[in-house]
Amino acid sequence: MADTEDRAEEREEDAYGPAEGTVEAVLEAVRQGDSAELTRLLDPLHAADIADILEQIGPAERRELVRLWSREIDGDILSELEETVREEVIESLPREVLAEAVRDLDSDDVVDLLEDLDAPQQEIILDALEADDRAAIEQSLTYPEHSAGRLMQRETVTAPEHWTVGETIDFLRAEEWLPDQFYHVILVNPRHEPVGYVTLGKLLASRRDVKLADITEDSFRTIRATDAEADVAYAFNQYHLISAPVVDENDRLVGVITIDDAMAVLDEEHEEDILRLAGVSDDASLADNSLVTARQRLPWLVVNLFTASLSAVVISQFEDTIASLVVLAALMPIVASTGGIAGTQSLAVAVRALATRSITSSNARRVVFREIGAGLLNGLGLALVLGLGGFLIFGDLMLGVVLGLAMIVNQMVAALGGVLVPLTLNRLGLDPALASGTFVTTLTDVMGFFAFLGFATLLLL
């Protein structure tokens, strides 16, 4: 029975991503210069898995792999790579291979590739495109960065609003330019303005004489090309969209955004929030070398160094208290660190709620009072445990009381700071994840030390 469960777990672990040992086998083939073995190992893999392997190996091995296997690297693999690794791979690819790789990509993937490249590399890719495709891509690049215009694909499947199901099906069967994936047929009026859309499922399930206008979806809504991609991702998530037409300033159709692109943005937003909460650049990548990694992290460490100095200033005001009761020095970190953890918990919930727009002006007050209440209850529970422990270990009832009171105060401060700091930054138009962690940690440390040493001075001396 145990063997069966172990085998099931192994199969589950290997169900996604490259099989165990694949990376080592690829590295060995690279060392041997065996391009045929590389083909045998990599050809069966999905483009995302090949991208994972390229990201996991070192720069030197990556360059050699690209040299040996460059003819097999296509646009799908390039679009799956992290930005820093993608730039390395593009630089290593022969121009004719790079040109061929991008020809079969949808316009949104080409734009995604181009916007992170230098001008010379952009020109290489643009030169490989047909004149019409190049004009469409260059038009997309004129839209603001991180906007719907950059996110959309230009290939749209449209039909006049007066067509029937039969006319539409005949049209789709006759055309060869259709995108590899699409979910709706967009209905347009004579001004090429989108007025509705029909799902492919409903199109295939309806009689040929049914008018498209009679089977449109209630979920239809348009997105402006200048809308922020974060707003687009929110709309897709909030209204359960599969795709949405994009319009210009004159409400004319210019492209379409599909759910895979919207969810990729949502994933990137969440990743950025996590990294920024930790004081790490959102450009950080496992492919970065030590120097790049240190340069990304050092500024926030320096900021934290200065904010930590505030704690030192507070502690220095109670030198006489600490000198009289040396045991306080050993207990101070307990109060401060517990407050820091509580503040991080509250902060994570608040930043996540702001990102998903769950916190609004109508419920912000209720959320703040909920956090205060939670902080008070947590403080009371921890105060009971820590105060009793302090009394039993050190035999001093008042020391236990001091520990308990300090814990209650710091838990409430942590809970309040964890929600108020990101709310304030958001109200000021700043990213609530960018500096919230530093402010909340400083607040809990300073207040933790101040409350503990202040109560100790009042009650123990």
Instruction: Identify whether residues 129 and 37 lie together within a single domain.
Output: yes
Instruction: Identify whether residues 323 and 455 lie together within a single domain.
Output: yes
Rounded CA separation 79/346 (Å): 36
- Closest by CA to 48, choosing from 82, 13, 90, 9, is 82
Residue 73 structure tokens: 């690297």
Last residue of a domain, one of 277, 300, 327: 277
Rounded CA separation 453/456 (Å): 5
Instruction: Identify whether residues 329 and 264 lie together within a single domain.
Output: no
pLDDT of residue 315: 82
Which tops the pLDDT comparison, 295 or 80?
Answer: 80
- Closest by CA to 149, choosing from 251, 246, 258, 250, is 246
pLDDT of residue 433: 67
Evaluate whether residue 41 is within a structural domain: yes
With 60 as the cut, is the pLDDT of residue 205 above it? yes
pLDDT of residue 4: 47
* 275: confidence class by pLDDT, cuts 50, 70, 90: low
With 60 as the cut, is the pLDDT of residue 5 above it? no
pLDDT of residue 285: 57
- Closest by CA to 336, choosing from 413, 280, 436, 437, is 413
- Helix (H/G/I), strand (E/B), else coil: 384: helix
* 277: confidence class by pLDDT, cuts 50, 70, 90: low
CA gyration radius, the chain: 29
Evaluate whether residue 152 is within a structural domain: no
**Residues spanned by the domain of 440:** 290-460
Evaluate whether residue 409 is within a structural domain: yes
Last residue of a domain, one of 277, 306, 335: 277
Burial class (CB in 10 A: 0-12, 13-18, 19+), 63: middle
Evaluate whether residue 147 is within a structural domain: no
pLDDT of residue 3: 52
Instruction: Identify whether residues 61 and 130 lie together within a single domain.
Output: yes
3-state secondary structure 431-458: CCCCCHHHHHHHHHHHHHHHHHHHHHHH
Tens digit of each residue's pLDDT (9 = 90 or more) over 399-422: 888 888 988 998 998 888 888 888
pLDDT of residue 200: 94
H/E segment holding residue 159: strand 158-160
Residue 395 structure tokens: 């035999």
Phi, psi of 338 (to 5 degrees): -65, -40
Say which CATH number the domain at 266 has: 3.10.580.10
Rounded CA separation 448/245 (Å): 53
Which tops the pLDDT comparison, 272 or 388?
Answer: 388
Instruction: Identify whether residues 432 and 454 lie together within a single domain.
Output: yes
Say which CATH number the domain at 121 has: 1.25.60.10
Return the DSSP state at 19. Answer: P
* 212: confidence class by pLDDT, cuts 50, 70, 90: very high
H/E segment holding residue 397: helix 397-427
Confidence (pTM)? 0.65
Instruction: Identify whether residues 434 and 320 lie together within a single domain.
Output: yes
* 11: confidence class by pLDDT, cuts 50, 70, 90: very low
8 A C-beta contact, residue 329 and residue 318? no
User: How far, CA to CA in Å, does 341 sit from each of 102, 111, 348, 388, 402?
Assistant: 47, 42, 11, 21, 20
8 A C-beta contact, residue 93 and residue 100? no
Instruction: Identify whether residues 138 and 166 lie together within a single domain.
Output: no
Residue 94 structure tokens: 């022969």
Last residue of a domain, one of 84, 112, 142: 142
- Which range scores top for mean pLDDT: 148-152, 185-189, 238-242, 324-328? 185-189
Residue 140 structure tokens: 């997309």
Say which CATH number the domain at 363 has: 1.10.357.20
Residue with tokens 């990376």: 23
Instruction: Identify whether residues 317 and 342 lie together within a single domain.
Output: yes
Rounded CA separation 181/351 (Å): 34
Evaluate whether residue 85 is within a structural domain: yes
Evaluate whether residue 49 is within a structural domain: yes
Instruction: Identify whether residues 136 and 229 lie together within a single domain.
Output: no
Which tops the pLDDT comparison, 326 or 216?
Answer: 216
User: How far, CA to CA in Å, does 85 sit from each of 120, 143, 288?
Assistant: 18, 25, 9
* 439: confidence class by pLDDT, cuts 50, 70, 90: confident
All residues at 6 or more sequence positions from 355 whose CB lies less than 8 Å from its CB, including other chains: 269, 270, 273, 433
Evaluate whether residue 153 is within a structural domain: no
Rounded CA separation 441/278 (Å): 11
- Which range scores top for mean pLDDT: 22-36, 187-201, 231-245? 187-201
Instruction: Identify whether residues 305 and 362 lie together within a single domain.
Output: yes
With 60 as the cut, is the pLDDT of residue 281 above it? no
Evaluate whether residue 324 is within a structural domain: yes
Instruction: Identify whether residues 137 and 256 lie together within a single domain.
Output: no
Estimate the crossing angle of helix 119-127 against helix 107-114, to 10 degrees: 150
Total tally of structural domains belonging to the chain:
3
- Which range scores top for mean pLDDT: 53-67, 264-278, 280-294? 53-67
pLDDT of residue 140: 87
Average pLDDT over all residues of the chain? 83
With 50 as the cut, is the pLDDT of residue 270 above it? yes
Instruction: Identify whether residues 136 and 48 lie together within a single domain.
Output: yes
Rounded CA separation 237/132 (Å): 33
Rounded CA separation 164/209 (Å): 6
Of the candidate ranges 88-92, 223-227, 268-272, 426-430, the one whose mean pLDDT is the lowest? 268-272
- Ranges of H-type helices in 70-199: 75-80, 83-92, 95-103, 107-114, 119-127, 131-141, 148-151, 165-174
User: How far, CA to CA in Å, does 84 sit from each of 59, 91, 243?
Assistant: 11, 11, 29
Strands 253-258 and 194-199: unpaired
* 242: confidence class by pLDDT, cuts 50, 70, 90: very high
Amino acid at 244: A
Rounded CA separation 176/135 (Å): 20
Mean pLDDT of 331-342: 83
Q: Which residues on adjacent β-strands are paired with residue 188?
A: 160, 194
Rounded CA separation 422/439 (Å): 9
